[in-house]
A and B are shown apart, each in its own frame.
Chain A
Amino acid sequence: MSERDTHVGQELPAFVAEGASATSAEWAAPALLKAAEIACEAAIAAGAEHADAFAERGHELSVSVEKNAISSTDARTRSSVSVRAFVAGATGWWSASTVTEAIAREAGRQAADLAKAAEPDPDFVSLVSPEPYPVVDRLFDPAIAALGVKEVASWVTRNIDSALSVAPDAVVSGESGTRWWEAALANSLGVRAVHRMTSASVSAQVVIRQNGDVGSFYEWDSARNLADLVPDEIGATAAREAMKYLKSRVANTATLPVVFGPLAGRSLLMGLCAAASAEDVQRRRSFLVGRKGEVVASERVTLVDDPLVPGGLYSGAFDGDGFPHRPMTLVDRGVLQTYLHSNYTARKSGEANTGHATRAGISPTNVRPALGEKTAAELIGEVEDGVYVVLGQPSPDTASGQISALVDAGFRIRKGELAYPLKNTMVAGHALEVMKAIDAISSDYREEPGLIMPTVRVSAMRVASGE
């Protein structure tokens, strides 16, 4: 058990509202844990059979840019407490934006009353029991928590300059920001878990207008640790990319190979993972119902979900139920290995809990596809006539499996080359057919903390365009 991630048994200081400053990054999670414990106790005292509670606080800084100048600089505190109470499986939840002892007690009582008013759920078995948590390094960077707002502003203003150095007529919008937060989770079976995390991000959208034509592009970087953030080239990269989209044209309507670049490819693959939510499967509203153990994608597709990557954007020691995180293979050479479970769905189905609960549902964490043998350039080079999607949201409808997505930014491929940028073009297909038609995944990739994003090629999809 890591002291970094759990502080069980530590002497508990006063409440946040009475103690630490709301904008101070001092370690106050034990106080949050005490609030969560009180909320659980209040729920049980009010008649709940089980209860869990989540309390958090944090602080955000953000600097917004419009048309090459700062449009606003914002600071926000964040705090909340939410309680789930259970009576005969029925759930009542209550939340509030202020964490005090009185509100924690009220939250517990109110949640219990709502649970008593709700209808029993025979599928509910129990909450998560205490287990040791894994150590996940580099989730909290004191350097980010201590960063002044002027430094945060400098990231985005330097990116205005870097964009203008590439394209003097660039119009830059964007944002830079930092955030720290800490949270505590307690349940009536003795689970006690706390964590604290940081994040920092920079984004730039660059618009270039030339002779009545418009090219634009959006670029970003995000990290949990300052050392992983590379804030300075975002603007220049967006400007260089934006210029590539001048003189965009339509394609023809046809069935063509489609190559998804790292970001669009991630959206495609994440759509498959999202549809593997056991809640959606058990409720029969996913196209992956009955597909566990079956081929759902080409043998080139292996997807590992790893919430323990040090410093990963979606890393953490425990899920929203307080269950310990662990890595697992979701898709192995095209075969769906498991659904994504919360404590509730796992017990309902008698399957192993995969630890994918959030406080509001089920979600994958850091999804890392296995890499192929050829580079992205080679994948494109092998396409005689096709489409390259740089930005887009080709994730399928979870129920129908239908993909019908606009190419937000992309190119026509002719004879292995990016021939011209596209406008008003859509790609479509059924997710299972599209996944099975993946004929290559690149060896090179875009990397963000915890995430690997290779290029993904689909041998054939319907392409429609505004001829």
Chain B
Amino acid sequence: MKREEIKQRFSGLQGTGAKRKVGFLELRHTSVRHSSLMLQDGRADRMGAGHRSGLGVRVLLNGAWGFASTESPEKADWASALDDAIEMARVSTTRLDEPVVLADSPAVTDEVSTPFQIDPTTVPIERKLAAVRGYEEASGRVAGNSVANLMTGYNDAHQFEIVCNSRGTLVSTESVRAILWHAITTQNGSVRQRGREVRAKQAGFELVEETPAEEFSVRAARRAVSLLNAPPAPAGTFPAVFHPSIAGLLVHEALGHNIEADHVLAGQSILEGKLGTKIAADCITVVDDSTIPGSWGSYRYDSEGVPGGRRLIVEAGVLKGFLHSLETAGKTRVEPNGSARADGFSHRPIVRMSNTMILPGKSSLQQLIADIDLGILLGAGQWGYVWCEKGQYTCHAGEGVMIRKGELAEQVRDVSISGMVLETLASALGASSDFELEMPGNCGKNGQSMPVNGGGPYIKVSDVVVGGQA
């Protein structure tokens, strides 16, 4: 469906909403074309593509939210979706705490495109395949006979989103995203280990051109091979240094979900009531920045049509702010900061992170580990989760290196850690000047999956629980 037709229909639906006394009406149409190919053990025998589009309608009626979505392109079904959303809002009024009052935000009319150099749709499959094969072959050469399985994939997506609301906002966003991923399983007798690397950007096929195998698939292969001979991680409490990828995972999982204002207002965050107070050591400064060009978690406008930005969350250990939607900003009487994002048309916007990071400090990695008698350097962040209300989190690292008498010693495998958010942040002893923002992934919340990025410097903490076997 052409964008002009969508806008025309939006105009009609806004008229209907006004007649029906809807306090706020938001219409959002997204259309995504995607393609993927996967090479496994030397053979690209699966290729896929597709298209997904539809309409999401959100209304605020008597201070209560209702939402409805449809995949149908039919005009009558769009009108039905508005009817449904109004009906849903009426149900929400049956148990309302206090009416929702949205923050003021100026109407925005804009059309933006995320820049990309090589349109993936113009790249022949043969060229995509050759690139992916190159990564896989480089990985296989490094791993040699220890390879059990190799998987390498390339995905791209081209999305158009149009957001329109009854305040006069009309924002069209075109974005192109590309992902490269490589997973290698190695084997030595009964021991199996995995190495995994992901590169994901708001970019076209140039992502491939910018990603040398040495910094991607070869890195995964080296890790998966070396871990075969590594002993299991120890169990217990240790001083630790987090690699930037683990720092990114930590700041996302442990802190980030707690600074989402919807969690705070729902009584689900451990940071409720702590604005302006010291929650972390002096070396911890955290920002969430949706304006970083090309980063996986970036965007110009959020799903409410509010401009994104660089949000200061923690400054020298002091909690400075939360991430807000129009609703949470209205409730707490602060400026909205463009943090409401929706996973496609079939979900309503909720408060989400973008690119969340701890800012670098001044130490070197060597300085951070120098006075650790027995500790662990945690690397290759993989996944984690947090129980916000308790502040209890866990993160899984792909590898670790023991620190003995101030020196990096033997590598260890199968490392997971846990901690209490505020205890971990308060126990931070230093941050390195080295910095990486290279933890792209999809974050899950309330059934929605959203592209985010995380990063930071090397961070030293006085103790963390390592859930190892030894």
Contacts and interface: CB of A to CB of B under 8 A. Distances in A.
B277 interface: no
Interface string B74-109: 100100100011011101101111000000000000
- Which among A23, A91, A399 has the greatest number of chain B C-beta atoms within 10 A? A399
A464 B464 CA distance: 10
B356 interface: no
Interface in A93-123: 93-98, 110, 114-115, 117-121
B194 interface: yes
B166 interface: no
Interface string B428-470: 0000000000000000001000000000000000011111111
B41 interface: yes
B396 interface: yes
A169 to B, nearest CB: 10
A66 B71 contact: no
A446 interface: no
B394 A406 contact: yes
Contacts of B387: 216, 408
Interface in B162-194: 185, 187, 190-194
Nearest to B91: A73
B265 interface: yes
Nearest to A154: B94
Given A75-B68, A171-B267, A424 B420 contact: yes
A424 B392 contact: yes
Nearest to A93: B48
Contact of B192 (A80, A400, A423): A400
A398 to B, nearest CB: 9
Interface in A74-89: 74-80, 82, 89
Contacts of B89: 73
Contact of B416 (A17, A98, A284, A404): A404
Interface residues of B, number: 86
A97 B389 contact: no
Contact of B418 (A117, A399, A426): A426
Contacts of A79: 71-72
A465 B50 CA distance: 47
Contact of B47 (A78, A91, A400): A91
B130 to A, nearest CB: 12
A307 interface: no
A105 B463 CA distance: 60
Interface stretch (B51-59, B210-218, B244-252, B298-306): B51-59
Given A70-B64, A397-B414, A402-B414, A214 B265 contact: no
Contacts of B49: 93-94, 110, 114
A22 B43 CA distance: 41
A74 B392 contact: no
Given A97-B54, A114-B48, A71 B65 contact: yes
Chain A at the B interface: SS class: strand
Contact of A89 (B45, B65, B266): B45
A244 B266 CA distance: 21
A428 B88 contact: no
A90 interface: yes
Given A73-B92, A284-B187, A400-B192, A23 B80 contact: yes
Contacts of A370: none
Interface size bucket, A side?
35 or more
A428 B469 contact: yes
B288 interface: no
B62 interface: no
A260 B466 CA distance: 20
Interface string A411-445: 00000000000011111111000000000000000
Given A63-B91, A77-B69, A207-B267, A406 B192 contact: no
A90 B39 CA distance: 12
A369 interface: no
Given A63-B91, A75-B68, A173 B194 contact: no
B341 interface: no
Interface of B: 37, 40-41, 43-54, 64-74, 77, 80, 84-85, 87-89, 91-92, 94-97, 125, 148-149, 185, 187, 190-194, 232-233, 235-237, 262, 265-268, 270, 346, 348, 387, 389-390, 392-394, 396, 413-416, 418-420, 423, 446, 463-470
Which 6 residue pairs spanning A and B have beta carbons closest together?
A426-B467, A69-B97, A404-B416, A95-B50, A171-B267, A406-B394
Given A75-B68, A287-B190, 20 more contacts: A67-B265, A69-B95, A71-B92, A73-B89, A78-B71, A93-B50, A94-B49, A97-B53, A157-B94, A171-B267, A205-B268, A207-B267, A207-B389, A214-B270, A400-B414, A404-B414, A404-B468, A404-B469, A428-B416, A466-B420
8 contacts: A22-B80, A74-B68, A114-B47, A117-B125, A118-B44, A119-B43, A423-B420, A464-B236
